[in-house]
Amino acid sequence: MLDYILYTDGGARGNPGPAAIGYALMQGHKLVLQNGKTVGKATNNVAEYLAVLNGLQAAKQMGIENLECRLDSQLVCEQLNQRYKIKNQDLSRLFVKIWNLTQSFKRLKFVYIPREQNQLADRLVNQALDGKI
Protein backbone atom coordinates (compact mmCIF):
# COMPACT_ATOMS: atom_id res chain seq x y z
CA MET A 1 0.00 0.00 0.00
CA LEU A 2 1.19 3.49 -0.81
CA ASP A 3 1.41 6.38 1.65
CA TYR A 4 -1.70 8.22 0.45
CA ILE A 5 -4.91 7.24 -1.32
CA LEU A 6 -6.71 9.64 -3.63
CA TYR A 7 -10.37 8.88 -4.38
CA THR A 8 -11.67 10.67 -7.48
CA ASP A 9 -15.00 10.91 -9.25
CA GLY A 10 -16.57 12.99 -11.97
CA GLY A 11 -20.08 13.19 -13.29
CA ALA A 12 -22.38 15.04 -15.64
CA ARG A 13 -26.13 15.44 -15.59
CA GLY A 14 -26.78 14.78 -19.22
CA ASN A 15 -23.93 13.58 -21.36
CA PRO A 16 -22.68 16.17 -22.01
CA GLY A 17 -24.29 18.40 -19.44
CA PRO A 18 -23.53 20.34 -16.27
CA ALA A 19 -20.54 18.53 -14.77
CA ALA A 20 -18.61 18.39 -11.52
CA ILE A 21 -15.64 16.67 -9.96
CA GLY A 22 -14.84 15.43 -6.49
CA TYR A 23 -11.73 14.08 -4.86
CA ALA A 24 -10.70 13.04 -1.38
CA LEU A 25 -7.15 12.46 -0.20
CA MET A 26 -6.65 10.00 2.63
CA GLN A 27 -3.64 9.03 4.71
CA GLY A 28 -4.64 5.76 6.29
CA HIS A 29 -8.14 6.40 7.67
CA LYS A 30 -7.52 10.13 8.07
CA LEU A 31 -9.09 12.54 5.60
CA VAL A 32 -6.37 15.00 4.60
CA LEU A 33 -8.12 16.99 1.87
CA GLN A 34 -11.39 16.98 -0.01
CA ASN A 35 -12.75 19.12 -2.80
CA GLY A 36 -15.76 19.24 -5.06
CA LYS A 37 -16.50 21.79 -7.74
CA THR A 38 -18.40 22.31 -10.95
CA VAL A 39 -16.46 22.27 -14.22
CA GLY A 40 -19.02 23.61 -16.69
CA LYS A 41 -20.55 21.52 -19.46
CA ALA A 42 -18.73 18.23 -20.06
CA THR A 43 -19.16 14.51 -20.60
CA ASN A 44 -18.92 12.01 -17.77
CA ASN A 45 -15.53 10.81 -19.02
CA VAL A 46 -14.10 14.33 -19.27
CA ALA A 47 -15.30 14.98 -15.71
CA GLU A 48 -13.63 11.74 -14.54
CA TYR A 49 -10.33 12.83 -16.13
CA LEU A 50 -10.62 16.33 -14.64
CA ALA A 51 -11.17 14.83 -11.19
CA VAL A 52 -7.97 12.79 -11.50
CA LEU A 53 -6.04 15.78 -12.85
CA ASN A 54 -7.21 18.12 -10.08
CA GLY A 55 -6.61 15.53 -7.38
CA LEU A 56 -3.08 14.82 -8.62
CA GLN A 57 -2.33 18.53 -8.78
CA ALA A 58 -3.44 18.94 -5.16
CA ALA A 59 -1.34 15.95 -4.05
CA LYS A 60 1.70 17.33 -5.87
CA GLN A 61 1.25 20.75 -4.19
CA MET A 62 1.25 18.98 -0.83
CA GLY A 63 4.57 17.32 -1.67
CA ILE A 64 3.14 13.79 -1.75
CA GLU A 65 5.43 11.36 -3.55
CA ASN A 66 3.69 7.98 -3.14
CA LEU A 67 0.06 7.81 -4.15
CA GLU A 68 -2.62 5.33 -5.08
CA CYS A 69 -5.43 6.88 -7.11
CA ARG A 70 -8.74 5.01 -6.88
CA LEU A 71 -11.58 5.69 -9.30
CA ASP A 72 -14.85 4.02 -10.19
CA SER A 73 -14.59 4.51 -13.96
CA GLN A 74 -13.12 1.32 -15.35
CA LEU A 75 -12.69 2.93 -18.79
CA VAL A 76 -10.70 5.88 -17.46
CA CYS A 77 -8.65 3.67 -15.15
CA GLU A 78 -7.72 1.31 -17.99
CA GLN A 79 -6.87 4.25 -20.25
CA LEU A 80 -4.63 5.81 -17.56
CA ASN A 81 -2.92 2.43 -17.14
CA GLN A 82 -2.46 2.36 -20.94
CA ARG A 83 -4.42 -0.87 -21.36
CA TYR A 84 -7.22 0.76 -23.41
CA LYS A 85 -6.69 3.09 -26.34
CA ILE A 86 -8.00 6.64 -26.15
CA LYS A 87 -9.97 7.58 -29.26
CA ASN A 88 -11.51 10.85 -28.05
CA GLN A 89 -9.39 13.95 -28.66
CA ASP A 90 -10.52 15.75 -25.48
CA LEU A 91 -9.58 12.71 -23.39
CA SER A 92 -6.24 12.41 -25.20
CA ARG A 93 -5.35 16.00 -24.27
CA LEU A 94 -6.29 15.40 -20.63
CA PHE A 95 -4.34 12.12 -20.63
CA VAL A 96 -1.19 13.99 -21.71
CA LYS A 97 -1.64 16.52 -18.88
CA ILE A 98 -2.08 13.69 -16.37
CA TRP A 99 0.83 11.73 -17.81
CA ASN A 100 3.14 14.75 -17.47
CA LEU A 101 1.96 15.20 -13.89
CA THR A 102 2.66 11.54 -13.04
CA GLN A 103 6.36 12.26 -13.44
CA SER A 104 6.17 14.32 -10.21
CA PHE A 105 5.54 11.19 -8.13
CA LYS A 106 7.98 8.48 -7.09
CA ARG A 107 5.19 5.89 -7.07
CA LEU A 108 1.74 6.31 -8.53
CA LYS A 109 -0.85 3.66 -9.14
CA PHE A 110 -4.32 3.89 -10.76
CA VAL A 111 -6.81 1.38 -9.35
CA TYR A 112 -10.40 0.69 -10.38
CA ILE A 113 -12.83 0.31 -7.48
CA PRO A 114 -16.58 -0.39 -7.41
CA ARG A 115 -18.80 2.66 -7.02
CA GLU A 116 -19.83 1.60 -3.48
CA GLN A 117 -16.22 2.10 -2.37
CA ASN A 118 -16.08 5.63 -3.78
CA GLN A 119 -18.93 7.23 -1.83
CA LEU A 120 -17.07 10.28 -0.51
CA ALA A 121 -15.86 11.46 -3.94
CA ASP A 122 -19.28 10.67 -5.43
CA ARG A 123 -21.00 12.72 -2.71
CA LEU A 124 -18.68 15.68 -3.42
CA VAL A 125 -19.63 15.56 -7.12
CA ASN A 126 -23.35 15.57 -6.32
CA GLN A 127 -23.01 18.33 -3.72
CA ALA A 128 -21.20 20.49 -6.28
CA LEU A 129 -23.87 19.80 -8.91
CA ASP A 130 -26.60 20.64 -6.37
CA GLY A 131 -24.85 23.92 -5.48
CA LYS A 132 -24.21 22.80 -1.90
CA ILE A 133 -20.44 23.38 -2.02
Task: Find, among 61, 65, 53, the residue nearest to 8 by Cα.
Answer: 53
> What pLDDT, on the 0 to 100 scale, is given for residue 2?
61
8 A C-beta contact, residue 10 and residue 46 = yes
> What pLDDT, on the 0 to 100 scale, is given for residue 88?
96
Peptide bond into 114 cis (omega under 30): no
Q: Report pTM.
A: 0.96
Class in CATH terms, 4-129: alpha beta
8 A C-beta contact, residue 112 and residue 1 = no
pLDDT tens figures, 77-112: 999 999 999 999 999 999 999 999 999 999 999 999
Confidence of residue 31 (pLDDT cuts 50, 70, 90): very high
> What pLDDT, on the 0 to 100 scale, is given for residue 133?
86
What is the maximum alpha-carbon separation in the chain?
A: 37
Sequence ranges of the domains in the chain = 4-129
SS3 (DSSP) at 108: strand
Q: Which stretches does DSSP call E strand in 83-130?
A: 107-112
Kindly state the average pLDDT of the residues 46-70. Answer: 97
* pLDDT surpassing 90 at residue 123: yes
